[in-house]
Structure 1
Amino acid sequence: MGNKDYNSSASASSAQSQTQIDKTRAQSVLQLLRKPSSLTLKQEKFCNEACIGRFLKAKGDNVKKAAKQLRACLSWRENLGVDHLIADEFSGEIADGMAYVAGHDDQSRPVVIFRIKQDYLKFRSQKQFTRLLVFTLEVAIQTMSKSVEQLIVLFDASFFRSASGFMNILVAALKIIGEHYPGRLHKAFVIDPPSLFPYLWKGVKAFIELSSITTMVSSLDFDDFPDFNHFTPYSRAPSLRFNPSSVPSKGAKVGSCSSSRFSFTVSHHFDSLKPWYLTLTDKPSFKVGPTSTPVLGPALISPVNARSYSFASPTARNMNTLRKNFFPSTPLPQKTQVMDHLGVNHPRTPKPSFLHSPALFFKKECHMSKTDKCRESFIPFLRFYRRPYDEMIYRSKMKPPLGGLISIVSPQIRRRHMSVSQRF
């Protein structure tokens, strides 16, 4: 008991000392920031202890590097006008559901979804896209509780056909989050990217700081997922697979073989050039070939080995002769005979050991591929991706002044907007 009390007191004292060191470092960063000029009231509010702690963690607890990055972030926020962003500037994007907070996961982290279309940058500048991205991140940060510091970002790339166009948007977004929102991103998912995007991403991700927590997934892997099928509000495209019920039923013919896709029929005249032909059917038949012929007699051909004699090998043509010579004339022993298992010498198999197979201790990790890990990590956020977008629910998450005039003037209006641009 004494050892346990001593260990608990030692851990508490070490935690207190670490907290004191963090506070000292935060004060040092603030002193460096105040040296050139004093901070404004909003800048002082932004540079709280938690914010400075995230910048210090991103720079490896280096006070000078953290102060430099934080000073650059304050200058960037002032030039962009982050403190003056309101929802009225992005009324069209909010109505179409291009960027919004879909909800919170099991750890109370906000889930942000970006559904930017390919022609968005044709009519908008890069600065306007940056303002939309920052506005959405600020709304997500406002919805966080005090114990939560990170968020989840889902990039829906299904509206893009150009891999380079989507790459420009993704790299710009990750760069802004990494430089001006350090420690905020927990996980990022790229959903349904263009076909050439993985090759471009392989060459670019080495220069992106947040590439290690960015994962590519395909929504087709979750089409048959049973737990989230009730979130699909729109009918999906019909399957292109063959439907046997669409083929008119025909009577069973002698000499026909069929499956669920097609069937072939063997002709009665084996000396013809093409003694078989294909037909569509939906009624299986396992007896093929003529039932009675004056020369050959009854023939039973299975669907597996039924084939034209013109394409058969010489071995297959002389199958009856091989069968007669294959089986020995001496009868096999009866099943009632008792075998002496002690007299049989079985080959000895060496016992597994650590030296023979060290991967046995890591069997679960070795057999789970990278694709399976990405799929498993995306399953908790699948419901947010499939959930239909509601503009009023998203606007209710905006606090002043981000909500703009609409959240103040018209709180009594109950207008539900279903976005036309949703995939599901």
Structure 2
Amino acid sequence: MNLEGGRDEEEEYYQLVEMRRSVESVLHLLNKQSPLTLKQEKYCSKECVERFVRAKGNSVKKAAKHLRNCLSWRDSLPTEDLMADEFSAELAEGVAYVAGHDHELRPVLIFRMKQDYQKFHSHKLFTRLLVFTLEVAVQTMSKNVDQFVILFDASLFRSASGFMKMLVATLKIIGDYYPLRLHKAFVIDPPSLFSYLWKGVKSFVELSPLTMVVSTLDIQESLHFNDLTSYPQATSLRFDPSLVPSSAKLGSCSSSRFSFTVSHHFDSLKPWYLSLTDTSGSKVGPTNLSRTLLGPHISPLNARSLSFASPRGNIDVVRKGFFPSTPMPQKTQKLDPSIVRHPRTPKPSFLHSPALFFKRDCQLSRVEKPHESFLPFLKFYQRPYDEMIYRSKMRPPLGGLISIVSPQLKRRNMSASQRY
């Protein structure tokens, strides 16, 4: 045991040394091409460069090229000029925000964009809003946390292709410029044709293995039906024969086994009444059957549960005496099992159900089921949006002027309330 523990420590130490060398090599290549500015050096921290190296399979050249493209993209945006004052309308409506943190302190982002948002706003403004929300999530991360979770509310979209464009553009930006940042992404209540479009597109999306499609209706039904104690039992719906007058009858049917009566009250839960009392004058078969043959006495209270049950007791005697039957002829020929042709099940056709062709993707393991993975984040999705709580999570300069002035306003309000 001690030898294995020592080997593990040696491997970890070797990996740390190799990662340090890779990080230094990446920074050396970047400075060799063109010296980094102060903002770029601040962004290229040790943890940031490690993510790029791990995303490219510990390849120094690929990581340096990827990081250089990311730095040029951030300078073209530019990310340092993003402020909350630019998205005052989006913050008021709750289009994109950080809802909170999960049990592992990962930020949970929610995007609730309407279908008309892309018509009245340019793609550049959408990109700036997305990057602003991602930067706020990165700022709220703890020291040992480097990933976030995204919830896409697609219930406001009517077009599956329109939502697909927005989703693919978002995942591409995260995959290219925020490598290894995404933990999971959930698409909630998308349009009906989205599943079929997503099947053809996801093979070209890098972050598609981390994206899951869920439905809130299925989750609510599963939560309700798991608690069976909240539903009344079937015995509470039984009909009480004492409430129906004996004279009010539409008709009756009787035999040696039971009598069947229908009442005038059609709006009742059970307008028919079944009784096993012997009320018929004409009987078929033997009449002196003992109680042991027919089993226990069936009253109107348990008629519903035992009316279609098989008779209890000595089954062999009942079969021989009460149910006369014609003897079956003896078998003279033996069939060969190889000759017997069983009916073949027809192959599924696309005209029958298109969902049969997408069934294989849904057969995931128990850990990877979308609904079970989404349950810990359901509370963030159902929680109402509060703009002030979201603004309180922003740090300067992302918070804008309101985050700087709001503490003074709170002090002024406190002093005014103390006067009165």
TM-score, length-normalised on structure 2? 0.68
Q: CA deviation at 1:386?
A: 1.2
What is the match of residue 182 of structure 2? 185
Q: Residue 325 in 1 paired to residue 321 in 2?
A: no
Structure 1: which 5+ runs fail to align? Answer: 228-243, 246-250, 257-264, 270-274, 307-321, 329-366, 415-424
1:37-61 alpha-carbon deviations (Å, 9 max, x no partner): 2111010111111111111111111
Counterpart secondary structure, 1:90: helix
Q: Residue 408 in 1 paired to residue 404 in 2?
A: yes
Q: How many residues align?
A: 328
What is the match of residue 28 of structure 1? 25
Q: In 2, Cα distance between the equivalents of 1:372 and 1:175?
A: 23
1:293-344 alpha-carbon deviations (Å, 9 max, x no partner): 99999xxxx989x9xxxxxxxxxxxxxxx9763399xxxxxxxxxxxxxxxx
What is the match of residue 46 of structure 1? 43
Q: CA deviation at 1:208?
A: 0.5
What is the match of residue 81 of structure 1? 78
Q: CA deviation at 1:287?
A: 3.3
CA separation of 1:25 and 1:371: change in aligned 2, threshold 3 A: closer
Counterpart secondary structure, 1:187: strand
Q: CA deviation at 1:151?
A: 0.7
Q: In 2, Cα distance between the equivalents of 1:368 and 1:39?
A: 46
Q: CA deviation at 1:108?
A: 0.9
1:286-325 matches, cutoff 5 A: 286-287=273-274, 325=324
Q: Residue 282 in 1 paired to residue 278 in 2?
A: no
CA separation of 1:13 and 1:323: change in aligned 2, threshold 3 A: closer
What is the match of residue 110 of structure 1? 107
Amino acid at match of 2:80: D
8 Å Cα contact 1:255-1:287 kept in structure 2: no
Counterpart secondary structure, 2:273: coil
CA separation of 1:409 and 1:225: change in aligned 2, threshold 3 A: farther
Amino acid at match of 2:29: L
1:236-260 alpha-carbon deviations (Å, 9 max, x no partner): xxxxxxxx99xxxxx747799xxxx
Q: In 2, Cα distance between the equivalents of 1:206 and 1:266?
A: 66
8 Å Cα contact 1:190-1:216 kept in structure 2: yes
Query: Among 2, 16, 25, which residue is 1:19 paired with?
Result: 16
Counterpart secondary structure, 1:223: helix
What is the match of residue 373 of structure 1? 369
Amino acid at match of 1:222: I
Amino acid at match of 2:217: L
Q: In 2, Cα distance between the equivalents of 1:165 and 1:296?
A: 73
8 Å Cα contact 2:367-2:373 kept in structure 1: no
Q: In 1, Cα distance between the equivalents of 2:148 and 2:268?
A: 55
Q: CA deviation at 1:18?
A: 1.8
Structure 2: which 5+ runs fail to align? Answer: 225-235, 238-242, 254-261, 285-302, 308-320, 328-362, 411-420
Q: In 2, Cα distance between the equivalents of 1:209 and 1:368?
A: 19
What is the match of residue 338 of structure 2? none
Query: Among 199, 219, 231, which residue is 2:216 paired with?
Result: 219
Q: Report which structure shows greater RCO (CA 8 Å, sep ≥6).
A: 1
CA separation of 1:371 and 1:47: change in aligned 2, threshold 3 A: closer
Counterpart secondary structure, 1:408: helix
Amino acid at match of 1:214: T
Query: Among 134, 139, 146, which residue is 1:137 paired with?
Result: 134
Percentage of matched positions with identical amino acids? 56
Q: CA deviation at 1:8?
A: 3.9
1:99-145 alpha-carbon deviations (Å, 9 max, x no partner): 11111111111111111111111111111111111101100000011
8 Å Cα contact 1:163-1:194 kept in structure 2: yes
CA separation of 1:23 and 1:175: change in aligned 2, threshold 3 A: same
8 Å Cα contact 1:118-1:165 kept in structure 2: yes
Amino acid at match of 2:324: N
8 Å Cα contact 2:244-2:263 kept in structure 1: no
TM-score, length-normalised on structure 1? 0.67
Q: CA deviation at 1:73?
A: 0.7
> Hey, which of these two has a bigger chunk of helix by percent?
2
Amino acid at match of 1:326: S
CA separation of 1:252 and 1:64: change in aligned 2, threshold 3 A: same
Amino acid at match of 1:90: F
1:186-265 matches, cutoff 5 A: 186-223=183-220, 252=244
Q: Tell me the C-alpha RMSD between the 2 structures.
A: 4.0
Q: In 2, Cα distance between the equivalents of 1:377 and 1:101?
A: 19
